Each structure stands twice: as structure tokens, then as C-alpha cells.
Amino acid sequence: MVKLEQLRADLHTHSTVSDGLNPPSENIKLAKEAGLIALGITDHDSVAGIDEAIQMANIMGIEAIPGIEISTVEQGQDVHVLGYFIQYKDQRFLKQLKELEKFRDRRNAMMIEKLNELGIDIKMEEVLAKIRREDANVGRPHIAEVLIDKGIVQTMEEAFDLYLGKNGQAYVNPIRISPEEGVDIIKEAGGVPILAHPGIYDNDEMVVRLIRYGIKGIEVYHPDHSEEDEKKYQQMADQYGILATAGSDFHGSRGGIMFHAPIGTKTVSYDIVEKMKATL
């Protein structure tokens, strides 16, 4: 018999429902090919891809974990809160997501305005044309795609470095919900809140504060983390008795260049998923 720790799960992926390039069902196929037993479906502020993922997962004989990655802001810094096993059809929860959409739309409009101020000709219609399905939401990678098309930058990375990332010229971060509010939304939807990629915030005080606030785990293993980050956050997870999770943050590849990492590059053993379920 296969031991539980030999079964692996990648808990962080994006699809065409947000800023990923593959439909949810395609991600499930890739997970199966990568030998995974479970895949977390964690689109930005959206659960629109979960049903499709579950359907394909049933065909493939693996598990699609219903999830989300909620965008929050603390002191001008994006902070992402992952939620797993959420009641994704809950009406109140879906209404809350609609509200989050407004923050997202406002931010996109502000960034385009800033790009225009910098003399770059880019219109919202061009960005909206980049979404791959009607129920998708729009994010910075879509703006980046237009910048690449126009030859203003060559790669996604360059688009973020020069314009859209935290130190970019067109970066804006208007008021959004706080990380605590993100945690609350996930808990109210019956889910397990986990802090995404703590290593990129450079704010461990906040990480500890959120642990005390009630997050059930931190994403220790992520493609943007260094080995030291992994060590530090594994220790932190052990110290506070919370879960250490992992995910590739897969978005697919644009122009042959992978944004974050392929499915299956950062995984946990399935017993972490079991422990997650046990906290429900």
C-alpha cells in the first residue's frame, strides 16, 4: 500500500478564471501527469473555476481542493491569504467576492491612468480583451500582456520590474481589505485560512500577528522563497504548531516563459491536506 507521505499535493495554482493561462481542467490534467494526488484551485478572488476542476479531477481520479487566494493590503503591500475547503457556493461569500472585484477594477483603472501619465498608450479595453473567459477577473499580468504586445517590455518580469511590481513606476495600491478581514471571509465561508508566500512581505511581525489572529498555516514552500526562507518559516510553523504548506503558484507560461513555477514543483505530503480537513 502507498504510504500517505508518498502522496503529494500542490496547493497553489491559478487558471484562466484569474490570471493563469490554462483552464482549470487543464491544470488538473497537468497535476495528474506530475503524479500528484491533489491540487489546490486558488484563483485570485474567484471561485469560478472550482466546479470545472472538480469534474475533471473526478475523471482523472485525483482530488481538486476548492480554494481561493484573497488579495488584501497592509501598509501599501499586497498580502495574499489562501483559503481551502471553502463553501464556495455560499451566497454570502459570493457577495463578498463581488465586493472585492470592485477594489480590483479600481486598482486596474488607476494603474492604466498612471501608465498613460508616463506616456504609454494603453486602454482598459485592450486589457479587458486579454481575459480568457467571460467570468474571469482582471489583474496585473493582463496589463503586462498588453505592454508586451506593444513592445514596451519584452517579458512579464520586465513589466513587473519597470511598471507593475512594487517598485514599478505605475504601481498603485489603493485601499483594500486588511489581511485579518481576508482571514475572516475565509473562516466565515467555512474554510481554512493560510498565509500565502510569507517570504515576500519582509514583515515577519505581521506573519506572527496573523498566526495569533487565527491562520491555520503558512505557505513555507513557494518558488519565490529562498532556502533560508523555507527554513525560517518551517521553524515558525513548528514553533506555533501550525501547518507548513507548499504550492507552485502555477500560472502557466507566456511566450515560453513560466510565471512562477510548473505544477508539482512545490508540494506537501497528503497528510497536510488531512490535517487541514481535521481543522474544519
Q: Which residues bind Zn ion (CB under 5 A)?
A: 69, 80, 196, 249
Q: Which CB, 196 or 272, lies closer to Zn ion?
A: 196
222: alpha, beta or left? (left if phi > 0; alpha if psi -120 to 50): beta
Give the β-pairing of 77-84 and 192-195. Answer: antiparallel
Q: Which CB, 12 or 152, lies closer to Zn ion?
A: 12
CB 6 to Zn ion: min, Å: 26
Burial state string for 162-185 with b = 16 or more CB within 10 A and e = fewer than 16:
bbbbeebebbebeebbebbebbbb
Q: Which CB, 122 or 265, lies closer to Zn ion?
A: 265
CB 80 to Zn ion: min, Å: 4
Q: Which CB, 32 or 247, lies closer to Zn ion?
A: 247
Report the candidate in 73, 6, 2, 61 with the shortest Cα–Cα distance to residue 29: 61
Q: By three-state DSSP, how is residue 175 classified? A: coil
CB 207 within 8 A of CB 198: yes
CB 97 to Zn ion: min, Å: 16
**Euclidean distance between CA atoms 76 and 175, whole angstroms:** 8
Q: By three-state DSSP, how is residue 66 classified? A: strand
Q: Which CB, 152 or 176, lies closer to Zn ion?
A: 176
**Euclidean distance between CA atoms 19 and 140, whole angstroms:** 8
CB 198 to Zn ion: min, Å: 11
CB 82 to Zn ion: min, Å: 8
CB 12 to Zn ion: min, Å: 6
Q: Which CB, 20 or 37, lies closer to Zn ion?
A: 20
Phi, psi of 253 (to 5 degrees): -125, 145
Report the candidate in 26, 44, 31, 40 with the shortest Cα–Cα distance to residue 217: 40
Q: By three-state DSSP, how is residue 76 classified? A: coil
CB 119 to Zn ion: min, Å: 30
Cell of 259: 510565471
DSSP state of 250: B
Report the candidate in 206, 214, 217, 218 with the shortest Cα–Cα distance to residue 183: 214
CB closest to Zn ion, residue no: 80
CB 167 within 8 A of CB 157: no
CB 204 to Zn ion: min, Å: 17
Q: Which CB, 18 or 96, lies closer to Zn ion?
A: 18
Q: Which CB, 80 or 152, lies closer to Zn ion?
A: 80
